[in-house]
Amino acid sequence: MSEEAGVVIIGAGVNGLGTAYHLGKMGYDDVVVLDKSYICSGASGRNGGGIRQQWTSEENIKLALESRKMFEKLNEELEQDLEFYQGGYLVLAFDEDESKDFKKNVKLQNSLGVESQYLTPEEAKEIVPELNISDVVAATFNQTDGTIYPFKVVNGYANRVREMGIDIRDHTEVLDIVTEGDEIKKVKTEAGDIKTDTVVNAAGGWSSQIAEMAGAEIPNKPVRHEIMVTEPYKRFLEPMVISFKHGIYFSQSEHGNVVGGMGNPDEEVGVNQTGSLWFMKNFSKTLIDFIPRFSGVNMIRQWAGLYDTTPDAQPILGTVPEVERFYQINGFSGHGFMVSPVVDKVTAELILGKEPSMDIDRLSVDRFEADDFEAEGAVVG
Amino acid sequence: MVDVGGHMPERRIKDHPVLEFERGNEFYFDYEGKKVKAYEGETIASALYADGLRKFTESKLLERPRGFFCAIGKCSSCIMSVDGVPHTRTCVVLAKEGMKVENQGARPKFPFIEVEKGKRLERDIGIAIVGGGPAGLTAAIIAAEHGADVHLFDEGDKLGGQLVKQTHQFFGSHTEDAGIRGIHIADELIERAQELGVEFHNRSTVLGFYPERTIAVERDNRFEIYNTEGIIYATGAIENFLAFENNDLPGVYGAGGVQTLMNEQGIVPGEKVLMIGSGNVGVIVSYQLIQAGVDVVEVVEALPEIGGYQVHASKLRRAGVPINTRHTIKKALGEEKVEGAIVQKIDENWQPIEGTEREVECDVICIAVGLHPDNEFLRQAGCEMEYIRELGGYVPKRTEDMRTTTERVYVAGDSAGIEEATVAALEGKIAGAALTEEVYGSSKELEKKKEEAKKSLEQMRMGPYGEAPRQGVKMCTVDEEVC
């Protein structure tokens, strides 16, 4: 059996399904979305749901700002409450260097339309009264940042995409991408071949593997990041609280549970999605240092997901030099959810040959070859 | 039902043909500003239940009433705030004089609890056994008899697992403990393990498995870490549930929960019980309810015939309890608690027959529709799992020695597949012997005991009732080389 599709999207996470959604919205439904596991099984279903616009690179700030505006309208579009709670992001500085950078960041963010503020530790404590500020030097805060419930967003896209007549095939692993010269011919799956000339690589932590199948090279490396959830409580925490120095972030969901994660600086590259004892020990200790009253709270679950990391911690978008019509939408380095609305829309526009609504040329994979990139400084977790 | 003090029916059992309830000292604790009577040895949930409380908490999202359900710390339907600690599972915590218990509602306030600061407990130990039921206890005994350093972890205050609520006599031609009641078997096993120096870790919830056989444990609000030489999982089973309208109302209970409340704590669940399911558990618990003086109004069974042993079913018939096969429950009636039920007939294709709906007067609906293995830990430990219908759900692949596909991780009892307590005890013996051999070296005596247990197990599964598990076990047992 051989079938055809105009576009094959690999990965049924927020960016794969979001791209399918925008293609459908633009009137194009000859699309098949494939995933080797279930919908939302990768990082889309394993992240903390943070929506942040306080970045240090111009590209990320622009993507995040536009995406936040799109998230604000997404309830209406997907016809359900996605639990987008704009309690802000409180970013804490623990030394003078960080504090200096924060001032610079706020200036850049403000110049691009993000209304972040620079705060004293006392002002930070007014926002989170439980916060231990004994080592805090400064903070920044942006009210329109917040959190969203990732599963509802992804399932919302999946429902709309199906209504549009687009086929989502879960538990269908891609085995190979067959090319001739610089053209894609077909995608081989464990359930048969699909003829196509256009493939979207939205495979998150597995993106480099998928690229290799098509004979393309991207520098992405999967790295495990861990996260946990506590028992539910009445809301006592308005913003997401983060520290780059400690690598920690935590917020309280609309359900009342506190969701938080922390990166391990010694984490090795590789596909590993199991929870570690290191995380249990170190996350709980750090969390209690930040908010001592957490010592009386139980965790109910821990889990892990993959950051698809790039050398500059910024995504890889657009086409590749080796193969035509092989679109990348990966390498998000831990912030793929929060910038998804705009990058999904732009990817759909590029596929259909439309004028992109935002210039993303600087985020193509070429930047690494040309050695023309600057690392994003505000990565957490 | 005996009426004491005018209005309140006495829910604590006084006279019982089989059991004797030796209640400890009487004392009082505080529930929402009201004094509640309790006896030493009663859990908070039991004392509140005896006092007439039905709604224990609310669901987080729908804010519907939640009551007592499983009674063994697995379902979280009875969580309350106890002395300022929210989310306390009141069914596994003993009531204490002067305790302050509050309904925490759908979402409690962020707690203010002073947790004592100190160094985290981290210990290197020999064999860790998770679960102190028949499988865990026999595993602990055989390992300790052969010099192993054995640590037995259990969530509850008391060991014995579900044996402690089994007041009926065990039978079967080859059963080692035939004729003895479950509660007495548990006492003997606990005593033997204690004599042998097994270290008991009560009120200890094993939270997780980490590489190189480290386990994380929560005890009295503290996080403990144990690095082990080998682990035996014997965490038992979880009750199956049924989908019907209003099935979350307080008053809809698992049969195991009813047994715990009635046979262990000596408190009757209500006045009129509708039993769903006529398997062994359904008919035995129905009979135990009658023994405790409770009216069993009806037993409904979806299958065309009664599933349990005829001996027990006949006892029910003699007591005048109708057993209606090809029937199911359609909905529970009531707003805050069960006030009745609608049952109806089903056809050969399991479809409800319209027009056969009938209202049943009851204040308790007891669900006895089987169990499934509780073995999430094994999944976390990376054990290969397989769905085996005959064993009640997902079970780990294992060798005849009960070794899983993860090194030095063994399994025994219902968490390896739903069977009976005697099977659990034999599997515990096999797993305990095999892991001791692997960690401490083999001996002729140990080998002999292990092989004897395997033979007994084979004989246990010989009868007609052993047909399904015999097939199931065959499907998930793999060769030594695979593991």
β-bridge pairing A117-119 and A138-142? antiparallel
Contact (CB, 8 A) for B302 and B350: yes
Chain B environment of A297 (Cβ under 8 Å): 110-111
Report phi then psi at A361, rounded to 5. Answer: -55, -40
Same domain, B187 and B232: yes
Query: Is the same domain home to B173 and B135?
Result: yes
Distance from CA of B84 to the nearest CA of A (A): 10
What residue type is B185 in one-letter code? I
**Stated pTM of the model:** 0.89
Report which of B399, B398, B395, B377 is spatially closest to residue B387, judged by C-alpha positions: B395
Domain boundaries, chain A: 2-46+151-220+312-369, 86-143+221-308
Identify whether residues B387 and B363 lie together within a single domain: no
Set of chain B residues whose Cβ sits within 8 Å of the Cβ of A234 = 107-110
A232: nearest CB among B60, B120, B210: B60
Across the interface, of A275, A280, A293, the residue whose CB is closest to B112 is A293
In a domain, B113, yes or no: no
CATH superfamily of A86-143+221-308: D-Amino Acid Oxidase, subunit A, domain 2 (3.30.9.10)
Alpha helices in chain A (DSSP H): 14-25, 58-78, 96-111, 121-127, 150-163, 207-213, 277-290, 340-351, 366-369
Q: How far is residue B353 CA from its own chain's centroid? A: 34
Measured between alpha carbons, how far is A225 from A50 in angstroms, rounded to an integer? Answer: 15
Give phi and psi for B421, each to the nearest 5: -60, -35
**A2-4 and A192-195 beta bridge pairing:** parallel
Q: What is the pLDDT of residue B468?
A: 87
Residue A123: Cβ-neighbour burial (10 angstroms; 0-12, 13-18, 19+): middle
- The answer to whether B175 touches B168, Cβ cutoff 8 Å, is no
Query: Quick check: A175 and A214 in contact, CB under 8 A?
Result: no
Give me the CATH number covering residue B434: 3.50.50.60
Query: Which long-range contacts does B241-244 make (Cβ < 8 Å, 24+ apart)?
Result: B241/B367, B241/B369, B242/B276, B242/B329, B242/B367, B242/B369, B244/B328, B244/B329, B244/B330, B244/B331, B244/B332
In A237-291, the DSSP E strands lie at 240-243, 248-252, 257-262
Cβ atoms of residues A329 and A348 within 8 Å: no
End-of-domain residue from the set B312, B343, B370: B370
**Cα–chain center distance at A82:** 16
Partners of residue A231 in chain B, C-beta under 8 Å = 86-87
Q: If residue B300 lies in a helix (H) or strand (E), which one and from where to where?
A: strand B295-301
Locate the chain B residue with the closest alpha carbon to A282: B120
Distance, CA of B182 to CA of B280 (rounded, Å): 15
**In chain A, what residues touch B218 (CB-CB under 8 Å)?**
298
Gap between the Cα atoms of A71 and B28, Å rounded: 54
Q: Are residues B257 and B359 in the same domain?
A: yes
Same-domain check for residues B384 and B471: yes
Range ranked top by mean pLDDT from A168-177, B118-127, B217-226: A168-177
Q: Are B68 and B91 in contact (CB under 8 A)?
A: yes
Q: Average pLDDT of chain A?
A: 96
Mutation target vs B (from A81, A151, A228, A231; most B CBs, 10 A cutoff): A231
Question: B77: which DSSP letter?
Answer: T
| Single-letter residue type at B362 | C
Residue ending a domain, choose from B339, B370, B401: B370
Q: What is the mean pLDDT of residues A323-327?
A: 98
Q: What value does the CA radius of gyration of chain A take, rounded to a whole number of Å?
A: 20
Q: Which residues of B touch A289 (CB under 8 A)?
A: none
Q: Please report the pLDDT score of residue B15 as a whole number.
A: 82
Strand, coil or helix: B473: helix
> Residue A262 in contact with residue A250, Cβ under 8 Å?
no
**Sign of the four-CA dihedral A64, A70, A73, A76:** negative
**Residue A296 and residue B111: Cβ atoms within 8 Å?**
yes
Please state, in angstroms and rounded to a whole number, the distance separating the CA atoms of residues B239 and A237.
Answer: 37
In a domain, B482, yes or no: no
Q: Of the candidates A1, A121, A16, A4, which has an alpha carbon nearest to the alpha carbon of residue A337? A: A16
HEC-encoded secondary structure of B315-335:
HHHHCCCCEEECEEEEEEECC
Residue B172's pLDDT band (boundaries 50, 70, 90)? very low
Q: Do B234 and B377 belong to one domain?
A: yes
**Interchain contact, B87 vs A284, CB within 8 Å:** no
Q: Which distant-in-sequence residues (6+ apart) come within 8 Å of B101 by Cβ? A: B29, B30, B31, B32, B36, B44, B48, B80, B81, B82, B90
Looking at the DSSP assignment, which residues form a beta bridge with residue B200?
A: B152
pLDDT digits (tens, 9 = 90+) for B406-436: 999 999 999 999 998 889 999 999 999 999 9
Residues A7-25 pLDDT 10s = 999 999 999 999 999 999 9
Q: Which domain holds residue B366?
A: 252-370
Of residues B483 and A304, more confidence is placed in: A304
Do the domain assignments include residue B217?
A: yes
Q: What is the pLDDT of residue B180?
A: 65
Long-range own/partner contacts, residues B97-102 (CB < 8 A, 24 or more apart): B97/B27, B97/B28, B97/B29, B98/B28, B98/B29, B98/B30, B99/B29, B99/B30, B99/B44, B100/B29, B100/B30, B101/B29, B101/B30, B101/B31, B101/B32, B101/B36, B101/B44, B101/B48, B102/B31, B102/B32
Please report whether residue B244 resides in a domain: no
CA-CA distance, B470 to B129, in Å (whole number)? 25
- Residue B8 banded pLDDT, cuts 50, 70, 90: low
Question: Alpha-carbon distance A200 to A20, whole Å?
Answer: 10
Give me B203's structure tokens.
């009120």
Calculate how close chain B gets to A295, using CA atoms only, in Å: 6
Whether residues B305 and B453 fall in one domain = no
Has residue B411 been placed in a domain?
yes
Residues A42-52: tens digit of each pLDDT: 999 999 999 99
Same domain, B376 and B361: no
Distance CA B284, CA B308 (A): 8
Beta carbons of B333 and B362 less than 8 angstroms apart: no
Contact B394/B387 with Cβ under 8 angstroms? Answer: yes
- Tell me if B110 is assigned to some domain: no
Summarised one tens digit per residue, pLDDT across range B305-318 is: 998 888 889 999 99
Q: Let me know whether B37 and B96 are in one domain.
A: yes
What's the CATH fold of domain A2-46+151-220+312-369? FAD/NAD(P)-binding domain (3.50.50)
Encode pLDDT of B444-472 as tens digits.
999 999 999 999 999 989 877 788 889 99
- B280 and B259 in contact (C-beta within 8 Å)? no
Q: What is the CA radius of gyration of chain B?
A: 23
Measuring CA to CA, how many Å separate A280 from each of A226, A234, A252, B205, B206?
Answer: 9, 24, 19, 15, 14
pLDDT one-digit tens code per residue, B183-212: 788 889 999 999 999 999 998 999 999 988
Q: How far is A84 from chain B (nearest CA, A)?
A: 17
DSSP 8-state code for residue B230: E
Predicted confidence band of residue B483 (pLDDT cuts 50, 70, 90): low
Could you tell me the CATH number of the domain that includes residue B84?
A: 3.10.20.440
Q: pLDDT tens digit string along B345-355?
A: 999 999 999 99
Domain count, chain B: 3
Mean pLDDT of A25-35: 98
Residue from B59, B110, B218, B406 whose CB has the most chain A CBs within 10 Å, to mutate? B110
CA distance A220 to A326: 16
pLDDT digits (tens, 9 = 90+) for A198-253: 999 999 999 999 999 999 999 999 999 999 999 999 999 999 999 999 999 999 99
Q: Which has the closest alpha carbon to B43: B82, B1, B15?
A: B82
**CA–CA separation, B47 and A81 (whole Å):** 41
Number of A–B residue contacts, CB under 8 Å: 54
- pLDDT tens, A332-369? 999 999 999 999 999 999 999 999 999 999 999 999 98
Based on the fold, state whether residues B224 and B272 are members of the same structural domain.
no
Nearest to B109 among A130, A233, A274 (CB): A233
Quote the mean pLDDT of chain B: 90
Residue B4's pLDDT band (boundaries 50, 70, 90)?
A: very low
Q: Is residue B116 part of a domain?
A: no
SS3 A255: coil
Cβ A82 vs Cβ A152: under 8 Å: yes
Which of B60, B111, B380 is facing A256, going by the closest CB pair? B60
Binary contact (A296, B221; C-beta < 8 A): yes
Q: Helix, strand, coil shares of chain A as percentages rounded to 5? A: 30, 25, 40
Please report, for residues A239, B114, B116, B177, B222, the alpha-carbon distance to residue A295 in angstroms, rounded to integers and kept in the order given. 20, 8, 9, 47, 10
User: Looking at beta carbons, which residues of chain A come within 8 Å of B208?
Assistant: 275, 277, 280, 302
